Structure 1
Amino acid sequence: MGPPSVAGGGNMGRASVVGAAKPKPVPGAAKQGRKKKKKKMSVRRRRVYAALIMACLMFLGAITVAGSWFFQSVPAPEDLEFGESTTFTLAGSETPIAGYGEYTRKLVDDYEDIPDQVIWSLLALEDKDYFEHEGVDYKGTMRALVNNLKGGDTQGASTISQQYAGMVTDIRGDISYGRKAREAVMAMKLEQDNSKETILLHYLNLNFYGRGAYGIEAAAEVWFNKKVEDLTWAEGMMLVMQVKAGDGSFDPLIADEKSTAPLDRWTFGMESLLTLTDDLSDEQLAEIQTQLDAGMPETQKALQNPGTWGHDTPTGFITNPTDGYVWDELESRYGLTQEDFYGKEANTGGYTVELTLDPDIQAEAVSTAGRGDLKRQENEAGEPVDDDGNPVGVENAAAAAEYVNDDGYFEFVNNNKDAALYEYNASMASAVVAVEPGTGRVLGYYGGQNGLGIDKAGLENPHPPSSTFKMITAATAIENGASIDSWWNAQSPREFESLADFEDPTISNAGSNTNGPDHMTLTEAVRQSKNTPMYAIAEKYGATSILKTAVDMGLRQLTQTDENGNAVTYRFYRAADGTITYSRHGVIEHEDGSFETDANGNMDLYASLDGYEDDGVTPKKTELDLDSKNSPFYYHISFGQYPTSVSYMASVYATIAADGKYNEMHYVEAVYDRDGNKVPEQRKLESYQAIDAGIARNLQFVGSTITGEGDKIDGDRPLTGKTGTWQAGDEYGDANAHTWYVGAIPQLSIAAWVGNATAESAPLLNKDGGTDGVYGSKLSYPVWIKFMNGAIESEGYEVKAWSEATHAGSPIVDDILNDQGKIDASSAYCVANPGDTKCVAATPPPGQDTCDPFSQALGLCEPGGGGGGGGGGGRNHD
């Protein structure tokens, strides 16, 4: 019945029908201190009834039934085995959020775990004298037999034990007269070998309750999203009245709208409970009357696939059976495949997977980033339609075509007033991921409203991380001997030797060109988000070196476009000795025009471009060549050109917040088997020192002043973070397409991204629908700060300061030296370090005279002899 609580252990698991339950007093009796006396039928009387039954059966030609006492065995409850579906819960919660299986089957181990609300509701409807008779309603059976012989309607007259005997021997479909006697004989044998409580427990476990639910525990989950022990009298009655209504005739969501059958049956059952005055306490009877007066309880909506459900929610990106992130992790860490969790075969499934998602932080993620579902196309009658305007075959709004506005963009319904972007254009989408530093636990995740759709926070829809990647580039520079006090040339546009063969051999900063030396420390280069110093770092130390640092810090995927314009996804793997390999993935088109397909027969978007190992599953990998400065990615990696996921950027900054220690990002807190026992891990989570603690603390300092507009962090606490902005496609002019803010406090790292819901290249729009003024500091930072403040409030994080550290590395000036190894005396470096002998007046350009001393004294000379050239401006602002 789910994982044990933090405070205590105990067997709380779900069980198949194995092992007889310990006998328990009649329900309600323990509370009242009395137990009904079981009436004993005389041996003579029992034999008379049995003889009458046999005589009738012989008369009908069913003589063989008489031998069933000796030859027809009734399967004992402990011999019945089933598979069960798997349930997902949030961290520390027993409330199911999703299920996985052919159908929903959940079984209860112990009779004591089934509440009176279920036991007595069942008996009130089906067998009031259950604890009084010996398994067979002799009068009822004879009455039914006589009625049937007279040509009347076929009648049942089955006790709980008879019904159970029929279920386990799979003869419930046989409505012959002989079946009734066979059940009676089997029921008597069943009661001879098992306690009443055992039979009742397994009856409730075996029954079908509609909506794909087998077993009372599954029914409670599917109908009311509750544990069985939490059901009310009204809810218990709603469930048990389904045991003979597999066609849904008593299901208010399935029965005909004009039918009163569900309400009539429920009312009859509740009123029957009120007649059990000898079995229920006055307090219980009062509760039943109150709930009867309140009316039939509301249920959850019926599920299209009862066994596999709950994946069309924000958490579905983690749990959905197609590409949910949890499945690879479960197989890698626990050695369990999806088939093991499905529960189709006997003795499989029945697991409870506890996710790392914190209920409060996850709720904050949805509240902050969620803008509702995408709008859908409708016809004039308000019916959802497909792309051709046809409502036929469109079962619901989710299956309809997306609404497209006059500008060609999707829009959200925008029905969440708490969303950080509520007042922004309805086309703006946001995604957030929260990772816990020091553990790698994903505590909050929002990539969209429907986990079966496009995940804006995950691997299938990566975005250029832009300037948020500069913290990784800075870490690489420090690792290679520079320091945050090193000086770099931020002139823009700036030519680079490595770009000599490119059409444009320059790199520009984001909207900040200069007309002269623009020298600054690495700290300021990151804080002011300059591109040219980052490119210079990549040229000096290698793009491959930056990539290695990124992988060490937690990045596991990047995407780039090949020479044919196709997206190629690189997945990275880090061995225990630090060796990094990668595999390449994308669409493979064969010579005949067909495409490589996945296991479901669909085009495989992530087929291994380099083939597979002998097992046909493991992609072939290539070792990262650290001797190559720009392979497989070019120097533009330094300022975040290549797309990655929101989740991986949250992981990278969690490493920074954890003083450089990487902890594997993961979604599974624990796995419990059907008996409530923790499944042991076969592989431990990765954890290692990714970068030196001193370097990480230097980065914490660098990002400590980088914030955005709007609210500030609660509690006057330290943070570290970085904004990011990336331009839209050329067809949108100077518009931007992506904004980021990734930042952390010591207890939590959050990555926030904002983009257009329509496409990766589509522009960002402001509150007025324009494209100006949309940067990371103005668009993503408000999302981040709202989510962070909400998490701080819900978790009560105490204020923690960053640890101080000396500045690692050396304050090198290599990048600001001219061809003569000198530094322009007018540069910021020379102003800050006037005694440095490398500072000299710049040589004037050809044709320009050196300014004479008299003119210098009058201040008529331009600093530096005229300064550097101008050039095109950048499109991004941070």
Structure 2
Amino acid sequence: MHLAVGGAVALVLAIGVSIVLGNLPDDGSDGGPADAALLYDDGRALPADFPDTHGPLAERVYAELEARYGITPDQLYDEDDRPDGYRVVLTLDKALQDAAEETTGEAGVVAVEPGSGAVLCYAGTDPDTGEDLVGSLHPPSSVFDMITAATALEAGASIESWWADEQTDVTLAQAVSEGRSGAMDTVAGEYGVETVLATANGMGLTAIADADGTVRDLAAGDYDGLAAADLGTYPVSVVDMASVYATIAAGGAYAETHFVGAVLDSGDREIEAQQGVRTEQALAETTAQDLQYLGLGESEAIEDRDFFGVAADYHGQTTESWFVGAIPQLSVAAWANGAAANDGGVALWRTVIDTAIEEHGYEAESLPGASGAGEDLTEGLGDDGSVDPAGEYCQANPGDAACAASASPSESEEEPSSEPEETSAEPEPEPTTSEPEEPEPTTSEPEETTSECTSWPFC
């Protein structure tokens, strides 16, 4: 399966590059790509000062060039010094990059194409420090829940499996859609931090920082200092989360994120890469299908089309916010902090998605709905696997034998003894005129949750 998927993705990449090379616009000189070292995906030149104004992004491009092609920046085209140097066609889409860069303040956004891993936009630099806000790490809160849910689904649980959430019981579907961190911690604890992070790495998460800020390389299996119950607090990058949701949008097929679409020599011939883009089937198609269903948004929110996504904030603890979501053709992750978080990641996400739909004419595609795969497990309801007969699971499934079995011991204790009680002869009590005592009304309110609106970004 991995070979088949890898071949299919490689074919998509090859076709994409050929389309790019075959449709590069006339730049006013010889009808070929612009005479510049770095080009957008349509052949137009990036600004000459791009490496200076977009230092972190340029560094990523140069690192990829050296790793995949063995080419260093001093071998690239320069009008005066190296007119025969290489030119690089990036995966960046000019319209999306321009839209992404309209944001101000502490915010960042990345768009990744599902199935290919091509990064179509990458924008976000701290206005005060120059820090790369897209590549640096931020606590993900509930946007990590899709990874934890994927772990359970891959292990054979269904979206209707049940899990303990502090003082209540919820299904996996409820836990994700309602942002119930307690239940997601229960899920992560059931399978263990190593299993969850191995799933995360397969989906596109490359690194995570522990509570002390030490960055752990997930590809190397470095899980030291990480606990299952705290996965939503460990910082991850915006670009990695866009990759994770791209894997879900692509039916579970992972493609390594990359910025280089092609390298051209002085004769406009494409240079063959020494190292291709890594691809593999990271999740079962039914798992990806169920994850799309769990994050399904309101179809009328974006041009009458389906999308899936998860929003996150920190319940007043910080001003950070996320929105990560995808349509079948594009995955976008947006993060914002401080004043920029007033509009949140949602506004930035919508800007990029709307621009992509308008510029590329993406057709609306319906998501398939739940797969029905997996078992409706209940092991996550209690430490010893027991089912509380008064709990939400038994209320929803009163006919389950586990509920009756759990209830029988307590019921037998309450049954009256068959032996009559011995009583001493006492005079009958005088009749009272006092009214029977009425039961006090309960003052308990329905449980208040702090779950965010995660089903779509305009609640």
Q: Does TM, scored on the shorter chain, surpass 0.5?
A: yes
Alignment of 1:577-592 (within 5 A): 581=220
Match of 2:400 among 836, 846, 857: 836
Aligned equivalent of 2:134: 457
What amino acid does structure 1 have at the position aligned with 2:23? V
3-state SS, counterpart of residue 309 of structure 2: strand
TM-score (normalizing by structure 2): 0.78
CA deviation string 1:813-847 (max 9, x = no partner): 1122475823223x2222221111222587999xx
Runs of 5+ consecutive residues of structure 2 not aligned to the other structure = 1-19, 417-437, 455-459
CA deviation string 1:666-724 (max 9, x = no partner): 111111122222111111101110111110001000000489xxxx6332111111111
Quote the offset at 1:792 in angstroms: 1.1
Does residue 652 (structure 1) correspond to residue 244 (structure 2)? The answer is yes
Does residue 311 (structure 1) correspond to residue 51 (structure 2)? The answer is yes
Does residue 87 (structure 1) correspond to residue 104 (structure 2)? The answer is no
Does residue 698 (structure 1) correspond to residue 290 (structure 2)? The answer is yes
What amino acid does structure 1 have at the position aligned with 2:47? I
Structure 2 CA distance for aligned equivalents of residues 817 and 743 of structure 1: 32
Asked if the contact 2:379–2:385 (Cα under 8 Å) also holds between the matched residues in 1, the reply is no
Quote the offset at 1:851 in angstroms: 11
3-state SS, counterpart of residue 302 of structure 2: coil
Runs of 5+ consecutive residues of structure 1 not aligned to the other structure = 16-84, 99-308, 372-427, 492-516, 574-580, 582-622, 625-629, 728-733, 758-763, 767-777, 853-858
What amino acid does structure 2 have at the position aligned with 1:828? E
Asked if the contact 2:311–2:321 (Cα under 8 Å) also holds between the matched residues in 1, the reply is yes
Structure 1 CA distance for aligned equivalents of residues 161 and 100 of structure 2: 38
Distance 1:7 1:357, change over 3 A: closer
Structure 2 CA distance for aligned equivalents of residues 875 and 439 of structure 1: 34
Match of 2:153 among 461, 471, 478: 478
Alignment of 1:600-615 (within 5 A): none
Does residue 739 (structure 1) correspond to residue 331 (structure 2)? The answer is no
Asked if the contact 1:655–1:661 (Cα under 8 Å) also holds between the matched residues in 2, the reply is yes
Percent identical among aligned pairs is 35
CA deviation string 1:588-641 (max 9, x = no partner): xxxxxxxxxxxxxxxxxxxxxxxxxxxxxxxxxxx55xxxxx645211344x21
CA deviation string 1:37-61 (max 9, x = no partner): xxxxxxxxxxxxxxxxxxxxxxxxx
Asked if the contact 2:178–2:452 (Cα under 8 Å) also holds between the matched residues in 1, the reply is no
What amino acid does structure 1 have at the position aligned with 2:226? F
3-state SS, counterpart of residue 440 of structure 1: coil
Structure 1 CA distance for aligned equivalents of residues 95 and 81 of structure 2: 37
Match of 1:750 among 332, 336, 347: 332
Structure 2 CA distance for aligned equivalents of residues 816 and 744 of structure 1: 32
Aligned equivalent of 2:15: none
What amino acid does structure 2 have at the position aligned with 1:435? V
Alignment of 1:274-293 (within 5 A): none
Structure 1 CA distance for aligned equivalents of residues 341 and 44 of structure 2: 41
Structure 1 CA distance for aligned equivalents of residues 79 and 216 of structure 2: 35
Match of 1:351 among 74, 86, 90: 86
Does residue 469 (structure 1) correspond to residue 158 (structure 2)? The answer is no
Aligned equivalent of 2:163: 488
Does residue 807 (structure 1) correspond to residue 411 (structure 2)? The answer is no
3-state SS, counterpart of residue 483 of structure 1: coil
What amino acid does structure 2 have at the position aligned with 1:838? A
What amino acid does structure 2 have at the position aligned with 1:754? A
What amino acid does structure 1 have at the position aligned with 2:312? G
Structure 2 CA distance for aligned equivalents of residues 4 and 822 of structure 1: 61
Q: Which has the higher contact order (CA 8 A, sep 6+)?
A: 2
Match of 1:568 among 199, 202, 214: 214
Tell me how many residue pairs correspond in the alignment. 408
Match of 1:538 among 188, 211, 217: 188
Does residue 557 (structure 1) correspond to residue 207 (structure 2)? The answer is yes
3-state SS, counterpart of residue 97 of structure 1: coil
Distance 1:804 1:741, change over 3 A: same
Quote the offset at 1:663 in angstroms: 0.7
When Rg is computed on C-alpha atoms for both structures, the one with the higher figure is 1
CA deviation string 1:781-835 (max 9, x = no partner): 233223312221222110112235522221101122475823223x222222111
Quote the offset at 1:351 in angstroms: 1.9
3-state SS, counterpart of residue 520 of structure 1: strand
Does residue 789 (structure 1) correspond to residue 381 (structure 2)? The answer is no
Structure 1 CA distance for aligned equivalents of residues 63 and 286 of structure 2: 34
Aligned equivalent of 1:663: 255
Aligned equivalent of 1:441: 118
Asked if the contact 1:736–1:876 (Cα under 8 Å) also holds between the matched residues in 2, the reply is no
Does residue 366 (structure 1) correspond to residue 101 (structure 2)? The answer is yes
Aligned equivalent of 1:325: 60
Distance 1:850 1:756, change over 3 A: farther
Match of 1:725 among 304, 310, 313: 313
Quote the offset at 1:555 in angstroms: 0.8
Asked if the contact 1:86–1:350 (Cα under 8 Å) also holds between the matched residues in 2, the reply is no
What amino acid does structure 2 have at the position aligned with 1:444? C
Alignment of 1:850-869 (within 5 A): none
Does residue 341 (structure 1) correspond to residue 76 (structure 2)? The answer is yes
Structure 1 CA distance for aligned equivalents of residues 415 and 309 of structure 2: 46
What amino acid does structure 1 have at the position aligned with 2:214? V
